[in-house]
């Protein structure tokens, strides 16, 4: 499961970074593809949350992407889902990179 999630997230980050998501998205976006992107974004969010790295707006982005999907705006929903997935991936990376930091007690909340 863990390897599958990393693979899906890495693939989404590669798609976003390479520009494929914006250049061909209008021609190839369907409801099924957007649902898969939203599901992958939610998995990335949960993965980040499992280590305390969920970013503030990731869940809101996923919720908005679901609303756009219901309205039939597949392109905007896919772009937002990709952005949310990237935030989930980056949140996980950030949490893991900072897990061994020794923070002073007055910074803990």
The structure's pTM equals: 0.70
Look at 3-7, 49-53, 54-58 and tell me which has the smallest mean pLDDT.
3-7
Q: Are 26 and 75 in contact (CB under 8 A)?
A: yes
Residue 23: band (very low, low, confident or very high) from pLDDT cuts 50, 70, 90: very low
pLDDT score for 71: 97
Distance CA 81, CA 95 (A): 21
Tell me the mean pLDDT in the region 45-74.
Answer: 96
Give the burial class of 51: count Cβ atoms within 10 A of its Cβ; 0-12 exposed, 13-18 middle, 19 or more buried: middle
The pLDDT tens digits for 73-97 are: 999 999 999 999 999 999 999 999 9
pLDDT score for 26: 55
Tokens linked to 85: 């997935």
């Amino acid at each position: 499961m863990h390897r599958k999630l990393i693979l899906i997230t890495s693939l989404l980050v590669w798609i976003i970074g390479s520009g494929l998501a914006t250049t061909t998205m209008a021609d190839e976006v369907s409801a099924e593809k957007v649902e898969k992107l939203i599901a992958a974004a939610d998995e990335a969010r949960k993965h980040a949350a499992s280590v305390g790295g969920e970013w503030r707006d990731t869940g809101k982005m996923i919720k908005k992407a679901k609303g756009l999907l219901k309205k039939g705006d597949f392109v905007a929903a896919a772009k937002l889902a990709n952005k949310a997935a990237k935030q989930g991936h980056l949140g996980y990376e950030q949490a893991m990179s900072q897990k061994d930091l020794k923070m002073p007690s007055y910074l803990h909340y």
